[in-house]
Amino acid sequence: MAIVPSRSGKTPQGPSRPSGAGPSSGAGANHPVPQSPQRQVEATVEEKGHADEALRPHRLGDYIGQTDLKQVLHIALEAARCRQEPLDHLLLYGPPGLGKTTMAMVLAAELTTRCRITSAPALERPRDIIGLLMSLEQGDVLFIDEIHRLPSMAEELLYPAMEDFRLDLAIGKGTTARSRTIDLPRFTLVGATTKAGSISSPLRDRFGMVHRLDFYNPRELQAIVERSAKLLQMGVQPSGAQAIASRCRGTPRIANRLLRRVRDYALVKVFPSIDEQVVAQALAMHRIDPLGLDPSDHRLLRTMAQQFEGGPVGLTTLAAVLGEDPDTIETVLEPYLLQIGFLQRTPRGRRLAPPAYDHLGLIDLRLSPAMDQRLDGQLPIGF
């Protein structure tokens, strides 16, 4: 069973330091060395493998963005404190990287309790969820990521645990089977999912609060980048923070990842501080365009334009042509492309929207005179 204490990362992934640190002969090599000698030899907290951890806000007051959710939780926390009861169960949904795990950890910190973190695929066998529930202490926050992937047996065990803080176990089989009930401490379940539509309604109905996390706006993202840069002791100009904010697809996790890539670039190329130009150069090297789209996005958009004449095209067809997992397309690539108006969902499948053609420098064949003729039935498609 994968349970980690609240202060450790879900997926530690400490980036290694660039091998050629120090002055180089590349662009910017004549700039002064940015960091103190001590900073250049010492590994920071995040370089030791706690990348996300080091940058997470710990209290509600430090959490930037998601204003509506914070307001709701502020009231719920105050009420729970007044009544000296655990917080109601909370279901968070939305695209990956928007801070669902972070929010669960913030709630535990606000309640001064522990946060137990696990993921539904790790609760494969009944004994996994039983062991987890029996290890809880009064007031604990239990965070289950990807809760839409919970096996049905685990889900059945969770219902009485959520409703009545009770574990109903069946012992033995057939005519000798007996049932046993174990009382559990009162806890708060925080479920997270990128696929709210895949959660069964009985499970969904047992959450007292259900909230969607939205993409962050540019102002919030700039504040997050500036906060992270401060924690990493980096010199980032407002124009640099803005440039990262506009390339991070509305997602703090991506903002922090890009910040680290820019930090590597500035270190190796010896830029004293990070401005818009440094960000543009660093991220162009990683093939991230000014809107934050990467080669996977470009491939998807180009395939739709060139092979499907802009659509509509079904998810499974698109996934097969791209050789991608449909789930990845649906939960990772598409949400931001929909958000910026590059894609549209129609009952007949996905369609490419005019801004995507403009951004890629492609002609919308459907709008060209030749295609008008084809659509009018004068020429067969593909002629």
Do the Cβ atoms of 240 and 276 come closer than 8 Å? Answer: yes
- Does residue 328 have an active-site annotation? no
Integer Cα distance of 229 and 271 in angstroms? 15
**Could you tell me which residues are beta bridge partners of residue 118?**
144
- Does residue 145 have an active-site annotation? yes
Identify the active-site residue in 56, 101, 128, 374: 101
Half-sphere exposure of 80 (CA within 13 A, CB side): 22
Q: Are strands 188-193 and 141-145 parallel, antiparallel or unpaired?
A: parallel
Structure tokens at 267: 């270190």
The DSSP-derived string for 285-314 is HTT--TTS--HHHHHHHHHHHHHSTT--B-
Please, what is the minimum distance in Å from the beta carbon of residue 103 to ligand ADE?
Answer: 8
Integer Cα distance of 344 and 13 in angstroms? 34
Structure tokens at 87: 């917080």
Helix or strand or coil: residue 190?
A: strand
Please, what is the minimum distance in Å from the beta carbon of residue 99 to ligand ADE?
Answer: 5
Closer residue to ligand ADE in complex, CB, 310/335 = 335
Identify the active-site residue in 188, 193, 194, 251: 194
Please, what is the minimum distance in Å from the beta carbon of residue 79 to ligand ADE?
Answer: 23
Determine the angle formed by the axes of helices 126-134 and 152-164, rounding to 10 degrees.
20
Identify the active-site residue in 253, 263, 269, 350: 253
Candidates 362, 273, 121, 336; CA nearest to 265 is: 273
Identify the active-site residue in 52, 56, 100, 118: 100
Q: How many residues does the chain have?
A: 383
Do the Cβ atoms of 120 and 149 come closer than 8 Å? Answer: yes
- Does residue 253 have an active-site annotation? yes
Contacting residues toward ligand ADE, per CB under 6 A: 55-57, 62-65, 99, 102, 224, 227, 252
The residue type found at 135 is S
Helix, strand, coil percent content, the chain, rounded in steps of 5: 50, 15, 40
Cβ neighbour number for residue 45 with a 10 Å cutoff: 14
Please, what is the minimum distance in Å from the beta carbon of residue 255 to ligand ADE?
Answer: 7
Do the Cβ atoms of 92 and 103 come closer than 8 Å? Answer: yes
Closer residue to ligand ADE in complex, CB, 248/282 = 248
Identify the active-site residue in 52, 128, 140, 145: 145
The residue type found at 378 is Q
Do the Cβ atoms of 216 and 98 come closer than 8 Å? Answer: yes
Please, what is the minimum distance in Å from the beta carbon of residue 197 to ligand ADE?
Answer: 25
Candidates 134, 79, 66, 146; CA nearest to 106 is: 66
Closer residue to ligand ADE in complex, CB, 102/188 = 102
Integer Cα distance of 30 and 39 in angstroms? 20
Active site residues: 100-101, 145, 194, 253
